[in-house]
Amino acid sequence: YANKKGFQNLSCLTKHDIFHYVYAVLHDPKYREKYRLNLKHEFPHVPFYDDFWQWATWGKQLMDLHVNFEEVEPYPLIRQDKKGFENLSCLKPKLKADKLHGRIILDDMTTLEGVPEIAWEYKLGNRSALEWVLDRYKERKPRDPTIREKFNTYRFADYKEHVIELLCRVCRVSVRTMQIMRAMEQTAKGSE
């Protein structure tokens, strides 16, 4: 079967090539749509596309982006800080995504603007990667007053700069991931 698909020398094929190929296939928009319901309940069926090496290359690019997201160059989001806040520790965290205007509202003082529309399109489950980050850094108050009083020490203000940098990096990863996924989609359209 492999020889029919253009593999003259199987000795050059590595387990990493196969892994990257599968990773790319699982990100293929056409594949995700076709097997949307199956992927929730079954193991994935992995088709064998004609251009194995192109898909393996995309998979490696995606893997490098997703595994090394903390090393990716941050996307140049525009930070807007309102003036007039004397006590920065009293700022109320909001952590809201405004997709319509391409911005992220962090708190009463700080907003990140210039989030490209394509960045919201990269979904992990039912939310964008940016929305996952915002959700993970929200302050949550435990219901039990004893736990809330003695153990609840997380404050968004203590992590604000880290979250801003993380959002910029995740934005870059989301944009690049969607560019690769769109290239996959174009390749799939061209081969139909």
Q: What is the 3-state secondary structure (H, E, C) of the chain?
A: CCCCCCCCCHHHCCHHHHHHHHHHHCCCHHHHHHCCCHHHHCCCCCCCCCCHHHHHHHHHHHHHHHHCHHHCCCCCCEEEECCCCCCHHHCCEEEEEECCCCEEEEECCEEEECCCHHHHHCEECCEEHHHHHHHHCCCCCCCCHHHHHHHCCCCHHHHHHHHHHHHHHHHHHHHHHHHHHHHHHHHHHHCC
**Predicted pLDDT at 18:** 92
Lowest-confidence region among 110-124, 143-157, 176-190:
143-157
**Predicted pLDDT at 32:** 85
Please tell me the distance from the alpha carbon of residue 124 to that of residue 134, in angstroms, as a whole number.
13
Q: What is the pLDDT of residues 57-101, one digit of tens each?
A: 999 999 999 999 999 999 999 999 988 776 666 788 999 999 999
Q: Is the pLDDT of residue 173 over 80?
A: yes
Please tell me the distance from the alpha carbon of residue 149 to that of residue 36, in angstroms, as a whole number.
44
- The side-by-side arrangement of strands in the sheet containing 78-81 is 78-81, 110-113, 103-107, 93-98
**Predicted pLDDT at 19:** 96
Average pLDDT estimate for 158-182: 97
**Residue type at position 39:** L
- Asked if 75 and 82 count as a contact pair (C-beta separation under 8 A), the reply is no
pLDDT band of 40, cuts 50, 70, 90: confident
**Predicted pLDDT at 35:** 83
- Asked if 170 and 129 count as a contact pair (C-beta separation under 8 A), the reply is yes
Please tell me the distance from the alpha carbon of residue 164 to that of residue 104, in angstroms, as a whole number.
10
pTM of the full predicted structure? 0.85
**Predicted pLDDT at 9:** 57
> Any idea where the domains of the chain sit in the sequence?
10-67, 78-179
Average pLDDT estimate for 102-115: 96
